[in-house]
Amino acid sequence: MRASTPDHWQKFWEEADTLDLDDVYGTDGRLVREITGLGDLQGLRILEVGAGTGRDAVALAKAGAEVLTLDYVPGSLGLTVKAAGLSGVQVSPVCGDGTGSPFADDTFDVVFHQGLLEHFRDPLPMLRDNIRILKPGGHLVVDVPQTYHYYTLGKKTLIAMNKWFAGWETEFTINELENLVRSEGMHVTRSFGDWMVPGLWYRAVRKIILTRTGKKLPMFPEPIPPLARLGESWRRLFGRTRLSLYTTPTIGVIARKGKDTSSPEA
- Mean pLDDT within 229-252: 78
More confident residue, 234 or 241: 241
- pTM for the whole structure: 0.82
- 164 in helix, strand or coil? coil
Kindly write down the DSSP assignment for every residue of 142-175, as one continuous string: EEEEBSSSHHHHHHHHHHHTT--TTSS---B-HH
Taking the alpha carbons of 128, 130, 132, 137 in that order, is the dihedral positive or negative?
Answer: negative
Residue 265: pLDDT band (50, 70, 90) is: very low
Q: Over range 254-262, report the average pLDDT.
A: 74
pLDDT tens by residue, 52-82: 788 899 999 999 999 999 998 877 788 888 8
Residue 12 clears pLDDT 80, i.e. is over it = no
Mean pLDDT for 35-61 is 92
The 3-class secondary structure across 224-243, one letter per residue, is CHHHHHHHHHHHHHHCCCHH
127 has pLDDT over 50: yes
Of 8-12, 29-33, 139-143, 200-204, the one with minimum mean pLDDT is 8-12
pLDDT tens readout for residues 83-103: 888 889 999 999 999 999 999
User: Rounded mean pLDDT of the chain?
Assistant: 82
For residue 214, the SS3 value is: coil
List phi, psi (to 5°) of 4: -95, 75
Banded pLDDT at 238 (limits 50, 70, 90)? low
- Proportion of the chain above pLDDT 70, given as a percent: 73
How many angstroms separate the CA atoms of 229 and 192, rounded?
Answer: 22
pLDDT digits over 181-231, tens only? 999 999 999 999 887 766 666 666 666 677 678 787 776 667 667 756 666
In this structure, the number of other CB atoms found within 10 A of the CB of residue 239 comes to: 18
Closest CA relative to residue 202, chosen from 183, 184, 217: 217
Handedness of CA 237, 240, 246, 251 (dihedral sign): positive
Residues 162-183 have pLDDT tens digits of 877 766 788 999 999 999 999 9
- Tell me: pLDDT of 123 over 50: yes
98 touches 73 (CB < 8 A): no
Provide the pLDDT for residue 197. 66
Q: Is the confidence at residue 132, as pLDDT, over 70?
A: yes
Q: For residue 9, what pLDDT is reported?
A: 58
Q: How far is CA 160 from the centre of its chain?
A: 24
Average pLDDT over every residue of 1-7: 58
Domains in the chain, CATH or no CATH each: 6-197+245-257 (3.40.50.150)
Amino acid at 212: R
Does residue 198 have a cis bond before it (omega within 30 degrees)?
yes
